[in-house]
Homo-oligomer: A and B are copies of this chain.
Amino acid sequence: MRDLVAVDLAKCYRLLNHGPTVLVSSAHAGQQNVMAAAWAMPLDFDPPKVLVVIDKATHTRQLMEASGEFVLNLPCQAQAAQVLQAGSCSGKEVDKFQASGLQALPGDKVAAPHVAGCIAYLECRIISEPHNQQQYDLFIGQVVAARADPDVWHDGHWQFEGHDEKRSLHYIAGGNFFSIGQQFSVAPYSAS
């Protein structure tokens, strides 16, 4: 899985544009953690920025605030049970990687790890916004590196045909997910 290809930062918003659930990974002072988050999305194109909501009670948040970094990992259909487990226990109590069966790999430009088997990574440095962080649990990250799996990312777009096990996950609730569905094209509506 280390052969993921670099994604042009000007296009990296497209990794998140369709609304997938993510795994947020973080590290500081020899500790690392991973958690599931459905509330993440792009914020800007250039320089690319993302938003993610991270509860104050989480171990991930402690590591994010201490390090100023995080990675948004895009898990796929084959990893749904691991994602659910990573969203169901706390890194304050257990080793989340061990508990969820997920494997940490080194990041490119940040200390926060990548999660093996994911279909994309967005490495982020936090843009400090204390009011948003305190009032809304809302973090803004500037994307400093991005990679995607060439099996399903071609020519700057997701293309999942023939790779159902690598389709992105979209969390519902209670252990239920959607996988992303069919791609289709339309021409703009014309009244004429």
Q: Measuring CB to CB, which residues of chain A are less than 8 angstroms from any residue of chain B? A: 14, 17-21, 38-44, 49, 51, 53, 77, 80-82, 84-85, 88, 98-101, 131-132, 136-138, 140, 156-158, 167, 170-191
Task: Give the distance in Å from the alpha carbon of A175 to the alpha carbon of B188 in the complex.
Answer: 7
Given A132-B132, A189-B85, are A17 and B173 neighbors across the interface (CB < 8 Å)? yes
Contact of A170 among B18, B174, B189 (CB under 8 A): B18
Complex contacts, A190 vs chain B, CB 8 Å: 85
Task: Give the distance in Å from the alpha carbon of A20 to the alpha carbon of B88 in the complex.
Answer: 24
Task: Give the distance in Å from the alpha carbon of A65 to the alpha carbon of B170 in the complex.
Answer: 31
Q: Is the CB of A167 within 8 A of B181?
A: yes
| Closest CB pairs A-B (n = 6) | A19-B19, A181-B181, A18-B170, A85-B188, A85-B189, A81-B189
Q: Which residue of B lies closest to A132 (CB)?
A: B132
Given A20-B19, A132-B132, A189-B84, are A41 and B39 neighbors across the interface (CB < 8 Å)? yes
27 A-B residue pairings within 8 Å (CB atoms): A17-B172, A18-B38, A18-B172, A18-B178, A19-B19, A19-B21, A19-B38, A38-B42, A39-B42, A39-B43, A42-B53, A43-B136, A84-B188, A85-B189, A85-B190, A88-B188, A99-B189, A131-B131, A158-B172, A167-B181, A175-B186, A175-B187, A177-B184, A177-B185, A179-B182, A179-B184, A180-B180
Q: Is the CB of A183 within 8 A of B189?
A: no
Q: Is the CB of A185 within 8 A of B189?
A: no
Q: Which residue of B lies closest to A84 (CB)?
A: B188
